Structures are given as C-alpha cells and as structure tokens.
Chains A and B, each alone.
Chain A
C-alpha cells in the first residue's frame, strides 16, 4: 500500500514539476496552430479553383517558400556534393592503402547520413507548402512534369537504399571483393544523386526558360519541358557548386572540431581534414566561374530582357555583392593555404613570404577590379564632378571583359598557391627539374599575359567576338595551365626529397575560423544567387507562360532580400551545427568509454 502511495506521490510530483512545461508546450502548439485557423477560414470561403493561399501570420506565402526552398536547396547541395568526394577519398584510401583516407571518407559519409533525412524532410515540407500555397502553379507543373515526378520518386527510393547499404555496409565490406562492391555502391550513390539533382533542376529551369509543347504524349511534353535552354548550364553549375559547398562545409566542420579537440591525435586528424575540405572547396571553385559565365550567357541568349534584368538591370548590384563574397572566399581559401605553409612546414615562413606577398597583391588588385561597379554609387556632388556615374578611367573595370580577366587571374593565383603548398618542404631531385620549373614558370607567365591581352582586346571587338571567342579562349588557357602544371608537378615530386616533414596539428585557431568563414561565404553566395535566379523571372511564375497574379507579384528590394539571405544563411548554419552535433554525439560517448577503460 505504502509503495503504491509513494508511486502515486512520485507521479504527482513528476506531473507537478512538469505542469509548466506542459502548459508551455500547449501554448506553443496552439500558437503554431493559429495559421491553420486562418487557412481553415480561407478554405471555407474559397472556391474550388483556388490559385493562391496565404499564411500572412507567418510572413506571407512567398517568404515562407523562399526560406524553406532555400534551406532545402542548401541541404540538397550538401547531401549531393559530399558523396562525390567521400567516394573519391575512399578510392584513394583503397588504392594507396592509407587508412586515414578511408576514415575520412567514412566521416564525410557520417555527416551525409545525418543530413539526408533533414533534406528529405525539408523537401516534403516544401512540396506540401507549394501544393497548399500555390495550387494553380503546382497543378500546371504536375500536368507538365508528372512522368518526371514518378521518376524522381523512384530515384529517391533507390538513392535511399544505396545510401543505407553504403553507410551501414562500410565496416562489413572492409577489403577484397567486398570493398570493390562497396566502392560500386558509392559509384551508384553518386549516379543516383546526380539524377536526383538534375530532375528537379528541370522544373526550376522550366520556370525560367520554359519550352511548352501542346501536342504529343505526356512523356513527350515532359521531355520537351525538361530539355529547356538553361537546364544543362544549371546542372553543371550546381554540380560544381555542390562540391564547393560540401567541401567548405566539411572544412568548417573540421575547423570547429579542431578548435575543440583535446588530444594530439584528434588535433592532427582534424587539421588534416580541414586541409582536405579546403582543398575540395578550392578544387571546385576553380571551374565554378566558368560554369556561371556559361549559365549567364545562356540566360542572356534565351531572353534579352531576363539577361539585362540580371546583368545590367536592377539585379546587377547583386553581382557586385557576389564579387565581394567570391573575393572573400578566394582570400580565405588562399589564406588557409598560406597558413598551412608557414605553420605546417618548419622553416618555410621566410622562404615563401615574398611569393605570398606577390600573390596577395595580385589577388587584391584583381578583386579591386572585380568589385568596381560600372555605375558608381555617388552623391549628387560627386556625380557632378565625375560627369555622370561612369568614371572616365575606372569605368572600364565595370564591364565583363575586365571581370572575366581578373576572375581568370585569381583562379591562376589560387592554383599557384596550391602548387606552392604542394611543393613546399620538398627538393626536386630529377635531372630535368630545372627545365620543368622553367616550363611551368613559362606556361604560367605566358598564360597570364595572354589572358590580360585578350581582356584588353575585348574592349575593341564586337561583344559577340568577346563572348564567343575571347572569353572561351581565356577559360581554355587557364584550364590548359591547370592540366599541364598539375601532372608535371606530380611527376616532379615523385622523386623529390622531403627536406621538411609536414607537421599536422600546428595550425593556429584563426585557421579554423578561416574555414568557418569560407563555409559561411559559400552559403551566403548560394542564397544570393538563389534570389537572383528566382527574381530574374520578375512577375512570372513560368516566364512568359504563367503570370504571378498574387499580391506578391513584385520584386523585393535588395535590402529586404539581403535580410532574407542572411536569415537563410543563419538558419542553415544553425541546422548544420545541430545535425553535426547530433551526428558526433556517439563519438564523444565512445571516446569517454575508451578513456575510462584506459
């Protein structure tokens, strides 16, 4: 009896202790349910063919979609980018026999599995919200893309199964033929991930550059709509951007872990992981401007109005912001390389100080040109002195010829930063080393010179000559440099003597912060360009086909948009931090058990 009484007392005490929490929870649920009341009220009065629904209590339908779609896209970018280099790392580990690569690949995949569910969850939320808030648009898109929707579901299914097998089978397939099978699963994972990316890309690009055919089967209509003018440029741009995003986020994760670790072993591991993350980010960043240029070119060619809205119209200021963010990213990535040289390679600081200074000056000069707008922000008094808003001397920096030139030069400098890092602490012993170095120096010097000459020449030729030939030539020259110097350096270093062994775990805390900064810059960039891509449709849901007739059929002001970009970046960082915290909770538990045993 007594026991029963005690138990009842305990239960009552438990409930009393939680009564405030439960009341709070009830209020919260009630508060969250308020918009539903609004919806219910609206639904009762609405006719059968509702074009729009709204939840003004939560900021309005467009803002809700903006946040959810951006978060889904960022999560999707991470989830589809990480498998690429996780798989490559696994292959490297398998081929070289170095276990640390396998461990790294597994750690990347761990981050992937924990983010995958959240990505799918946000995809589901986005879908429900779109169906609920934009029923007319979704009905139209469903009518056009229904076969693609089915395909997407199938792809999602096989991707999920493959991911489970890839992750949970990691330790069960450690070597031999089983490892081969595991690698094949990794390959399949990437193939499915690629298709998961390009299928919904076709829906979004269809909205910007629609191809509508009224005749033919539903499959033929879906296929025509899928193969629209901006589909492949967006596919390529996003594929590369996902690698960049994934690389820099993994780098930031390593940076944060590096700042928190207590043991030397972990310190070394996360220092190395940070280096790999930064390397992957930079590796993707080098071709990214080319892909972006191609996309913008296709947009311009598809529709002059859309092209001008983006590059010369009211959205053109976004590209100055973009230049600033990319500039910080280039500086951050190079800074991390340079810190690696001076901290990880004993005695390298004095040797590389001057080359680093030269590269920094070139980067800053290029950045100065890239960030100089065509139309300057000037007060009335300043504009009067200028004789307009175009500066007679610096105005030449405002057009694409200058921007393309400096973007290519910055890529070359960043590439050389990496090469310098690679070669630091080693002495080439090959008999032909001197010749190889001269060839590399010559190739780099001539390439930089030709890029500049083409950039200047670009002012004196018709725009189409510059776009079709000069800009393409600049890109090809830079790619040529990348593709000649990289293998040459690899061969040269094969026989090189190590003079200073690389010491991991010696980076200062600011290196970790630099990695975090790079990740934040990439996220901000994606939110910025997401707004640009979406806003370029102006008052159209589907450009030229379905007009936006809602109360939100206007382009938000740049300041307002910037606030949303920051909000999305903040929310995404918050979410990623939470997901990674959850993912690594088990590690801490295991570590403490190991510590207790030892």
Chain B
C-alpha cells in the first residue's frame, strides 16, 4: 500500500518525461531540454504539493523514503539497494555537474531577442502610401519579386528557405507581423539583419538590407501586400 503511494508519482514523472521527450516529437518538432526541464519541475512541484496536503498523505509519501534511506531493519536486497542509491546518487550529481560545466565544442544555448526595440527614428512612423487595391497589388508584386524566394507565399517556405537557419519568418503565424506595428516591419526590411542592434545578438538573420535596392515607398507597399497576403493586420492603437 505504502509502496503504491510512492509509485504513482514516480510513474507520473517518468510518464511526463517520456511523452515530452519521445511521444510529442512523433507529431511535431522535438522540445528543447530547457522546456522539458521546466515542465518536469512543474510536475515535481505538483506532486510535492499534493502529497503534503495532509499529515496522513505526507507520512504515506515520505514514510517509505525515510525508512528506505535510514536503513532501519533492512536486510538482503533492500540493504544492497540502499547502498547502491547512496553511492550512485552522489555520482549522478557529480556526473551531471561535470557534463554541464566541462568544456565542449558545442555552442551554448541561445536566448536571443527576437524582437529588439527599433531605433528612435523608426518609432511612430505611419505608412505614407495610401492603402488602395492598386498599391496592395503593387506591394504583392514587389513581394513576389524580392521576398518570396525566402518567405514563399507569406508562410516562410520559399524555395530558398531551407538554406537558412534560423528560417525566414512565417507571416501567417499570428506571433510574427500581427504583433508588430508597420513602422517596425519597415525598419526590419530597410535595415535587414545587419541593422539589428546589439541586444538582438547573437543574430544570424540573412535578411538583406533592402534600402540598398528598394525605395522607401516600395518598402511601404511591400508591407501592405505582406499583411494583406498573410491575412493579418498590423498592430495599431486606434
């Protein structure tokens, strides 16, 4: 009975880990270790909270653990198991510490800033080009000529997209241009990856600096075409 109280949380933790690590990637992209750790920590916190809600449940949960670790009255396999835990656990901690601090040829995990703040001169700009069907169509035409090789049909899946890491932005995704004001998109197109501020480092964006080839009004038209084609609306305050 006591064993089963302890078994359920262990099975839950293992189950959550297996689902996150192996089952989820069958349907979508694998999760990074940082996220798996986060979700496992939440699960462990939940278990601790639930199992310590009353004196009875606390005793049922910690009783077997303390009994096992204290070694009172243990003989045979249980005694050997306790010894194994007492030896292996510190070794595991040591190993984990070693692999997380030992020099490696792998680059460190990145927590780059995807949307750094724009420079002052790009703040509050509004699109000077009238939003007419002709201008939208012209924008889509410019998009097809200059942007679609990477951004495809606004979904980030152009023929050249596979060559880039990070991949070109998917404008259909509600987490990209739909969250931004037009002035921000204007800045990104005009200045490209090389125009990103230091806070956006390490930035590996291959976005060209389009101010070299396009005039401002062409960029504004592309923005109109982009929003229209991706069925999104720019962020506004009105």
Q: Which residues of A contact B (CB under 8 A)?
A: 301, 303-306, 308-309, 312-314, 316-317, 331, 335, 338-339, 342-343, 349, 353, 356-357, 360-361, 364, 367-368, 371-372, 374-396, 398-399, 401, 459-460, 462-464, 508, 510, 538, 544
Given A308-B116, A342-B53, A389-B110, residue A377 in contact with residue B32 (CB < 8 A): yes
Q: Is B148 an interface residue (CB 8 A)?
A: no
Instruction: Judge whether B194 is part of the interface by a CB distance below 8 angstroms.
Output: no
The answer for the CA separation of A379 and B112 in the assembled complex, in Å, is 11
Which residues does chain A contribute within 8 Å of B27, judged by CB atoms?
393
Stretch in contact with the other chain, from B33-41, B69-77, B91-99, B137-145: B33-41
- Whether B107 and A380, one on each chain, are in contact in the complex, defined by CB atoms closer than 8 angstroms, is yes
What B residues does A374 contact at CB under 8 A? Answer: 114, 175
A-B contacts at CB below 8 angstroms, number: 171
B45 and A364 contacting across the interface, CB-CB below 8 Å: yes
CB <8 Å contact, A462 and B106:
no
Q: Give the secondary structure class of A's interface.
A: helix
| Least Cβ–Cβ distance between B48 and chain A, in angstroms | 10
Residues on A with beta carbons closer than 8 Å to the beta carbon of B110: 377-380, 383, 389
Residues on A with beta carbons closer than 8 Å to the beta carbon of B56: 349
CA distance A219 to B55 in the complex (A): 63
Is A387 a contact partner of B39 (Cβ separation < 8 A)?
Answer: no
Q: CA separation between A194 and B115, bound complex, in Å? A: 37
CA distance A388 to B205 in the complex (A): 11
- Asked if B123 is an interface residue, CB under 8 A from chain A, the answer is yes
**Cα A357 to Cα B53 with chains together (Å):** 10
Contact (A389, B42) CB under 8 Å given A380-B107, A382-B30, A463-B178: no
CA distance A313 to B38 in the complex (A): 22
Interface on B for A, CB 8 Å cutoff?
Answer: 24, 27-35, 38-39, 42-43, 45-46, 49-50, 52-58, 106-120, 123-124, 165-167, 173-175, 178-179, 181, 183-184, 199, 232-238
Q: Which residues of chain A are near B233, meaning CB under 8 Å?
A: 462-464
**25 A-B residue pairings within 8 Å (CB atoms):** A304-B123, A305-B123, A313-B115, A314-B199, A331-B45, A342-B54, A349-B54, A367-B42, A371-B38, A376-B34, A376-B35, A377-B32, A377-B109, A377-B110, A379-B32, A381-B106, A382-B33, A382-B109, A383-B166, A386-B30, A399-B175, A459-B174, A508-B55, A510-B52, A538-B117
Closest A residue to B33 using CB positions: A382
Contact of A395 (CB < 8 Å), options: B117, B175, B235, B238 = B175
Q: Given the complex of chains A and B, what is the CA–CA distance between A11 and B32 in angstroms?
A: 72
B29, A385: Cβ atoms closer than 8 Å:
yes
Known: A301-B237, A383-B165, A463-B233. A389 touches B109 (CB 8 A): no
B118 contact set on A, CB distance < 8 A: 304-305, 308
**Distance from A470 Cβ to chain B, minimum over Cβ atoms (Å):** 13
Chain A contacts of B35 at CB under 8 A? 372, 376, 391, 394
A291 to B165, CA, bound (A): 39
Cβ A389 vs Cβ B33 within 8 A: no
Closest B residue to A400 by beta carbon equals B179
Contact of B28 among A393, A460, A462 (CB under 8 A): A393
Which residues of chain B are within 8 angstroms of A399 by Cβ–Cβ distance?
A: 174-175, 179
Given contacts A313-B199, A368-B42, A399-B174, contact A387 B167 (CB under 8 A): yes
CB-CB under 8 A from B237, the residues of chain A are 301, 464
A316 & B178 in contact (Cβ 8 Å cutoff): no
The CA of A390 and the CA of B168, in the complex, are separated in Å by: 12
A460 to B237, CA, bound (A): 17
Chain A residues whose CB sits within 8 angstroms of the CB of B111 once the complex forms: 317, 375, 377
Q: A372-B35, A379-B108, A460-B174 are in contact. Are A338 and B30 (CB under 8 A)?
A: no
CB-CB nearest 3 A-B residue pairs: A462-B233, A312-B115, A378-B32
Interface contact A375-B178, CB-CB below 8 Å: no
Docked complex Cα distance between A462 and B232 (Å): 7
**A375, B114: Cβ atoms under 8 Å?**
yes
Determine the chain B residues whose CB is within 8 A of the CB of A381 once the complex forms: 106
Decide: B174 and A462 in contact? CB cutoff 8 A.
Answer: no
Q: Do A388 and B166 touch across chains, with their CB atoms under 8 A apart?
A: yes
Q: How far is the CA of A376 from the CA of B181 in the complex (A)?
A: 23
**Residue on B with the closest CB to A343?**
B54
Instruction: Determine if A313 and B166 form an interchain contact, defined as CB atoms under 8 angstroms apart.
Output: no
Q: Is the CB of B31 within 8 A of A390?
A: no
| Apart from A376-B34, A379-B110, 20 more pairs, CB < 8 Å | A305-B117, A305-B118, A308-B184, A338-B53, A368-B39, A372-B38, A374-B175, A375-B112, A375-B114, A377-B32, A382-B30, A383-B110, A388-B165, A388-B166, A389-B112, A463-B236, A464-B236, A464-B237, A508-B58, A538-B117
Complex CA–CA separation, A346 to B183 (angstroms) = 62
Residues of B within 8 A of A301 (CB): 237
- With a CB–CB cut-off of 8 A, which chain A residues contact B179? 312, 399, 463
| Residues A389 and B236 in contact, CB atoms below 8 Å apart | no
Which one of A314, A356, A361, A396 contacts B175 once the chains associate, using CB atoms below 8 Å? A396
Instruction: Kindly list chain A residues whose C-beta atoms are within 8 Å of the C-beta of B32.
Output: 376-379, 382-383, 386
Distance (Å) between the CB of A461 and the closest chain B CB? 8
Q: Which of B52, B53, B58, B233 has the most C-beta atoms of chain A within 10 angstroms of its own C-beta?
A: B53
Cβ B183 vs Cβ A304 within 8 A: yes
